[in-house]
């Protein structure tokens, strides 16, 4: 079930980026962090822990690691620390991925 965003977008820009977020095509202003893009489009969890608990971004400044998602096949990306770009494909992160392993290893 889709949960509406918990935020209201007050500042709109015209310079947009389009990408795939949790299976939907979304449009957000250029220069937005991925976590902000997620929070402004979805109210539900962006990560599910090993025990099945739901999580959303918590600190927005790179401390808590609750905002981890999978970006273009690479897991463990801190969505609050990366900016969106055209054509990126973002998936929820389910369970734990061990740190230090990515698809190019």
Partner 1 sequence: MTDFDIIIIGAGPAGMSAALTAANGGLDVLLLDEQPHAGGQIYRNVKQNHSKQSWFGKSYSSGINLVDALNHIKITKCFGATVWRVEANKRVLWSQNGESKVSTAVHIVLANGAQERPFPFPGWTLPGVMTIGSAQILMKSSGIFPKDSVLVGSGPLLYLVATQMIEANCPPKALLETQTLRMMINSLIHLPKALLNMKSLIMGFMFIYKIKSAGVPRYKSVSRLEAQSSGNGSIKFLFSHKGIRKSLTTKLLLIHQGVIPSTEISRSVGVDHSWNTSQLAFQPIIDKWGKTNIDGLYIAGDCGGINGSEAAVLYGKIVATKILYETGKINFNLYKKQSFSISFSLFFTNSIRLFLDTLFAVPQETLSPSDETIVCRCEEKTVGEIKLGLNEGITGVRQLKTSIRSGMGQCQGRMCDAIVRGIMLNNISQNDINILAPKARSPIKPITLGELSKMKLD
Q: Which one, of 92, 99, 103, 104, lies nearest residue 44 by Cα? A: 92
User: Which lies closer to partner 1 via its Cβ, residue 20 or residue 49?
Assistant: 49
- Angstrom distance (rounded) from CA 82 to CA 72: 13
User: Which lies closer to ligand FES via its Cβ, residue 16 or residue 49?
Assistant: 49
Closest approach, Cβ 103 to ligand FES, in A, equals: 21
- Angstrom distance (rounded) from CA 9 to CA 28: 10
Binding footprint of partner 1 on the chain (CB under 8 A) = 1, 3-13, 29, 31-33, 36-37, 39-40, 43-45, 49-51, 53-66, 68, 74, 76, 81, 83, 99-102, 104-105
Q: How many residues does the chain have?
A: 105
Binding footprint of ligand FES on the chain (CB under 6 A) = 35, 57-60, 62-67, 78, 80
- Angstrom distance (rounded) from CA 38 to CA 75: 16
């Amino acid at each position: 079930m889709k949960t509406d965003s918990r935020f209201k977008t007050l500042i709109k820009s015209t310079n947009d980026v389009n990408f795939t977020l949790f299976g939907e095509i979304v449009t957000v202003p250029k220069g937005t962090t991925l976590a902000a893009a997620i929070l402004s489009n979805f109210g539900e969890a962006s990560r599910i822990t090993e025990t099945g608990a739901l999580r959303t971004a918590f600190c927005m400044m790179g401390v808590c690691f609750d905002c981890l998602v999978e970006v273009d096949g690479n897991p463990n990306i801190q969505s609050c620390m990366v900016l969106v770009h055209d054509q990126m494909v973002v998936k929820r992160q389910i369970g734990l991925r061990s740190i230090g392993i990515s698809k190019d290893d």
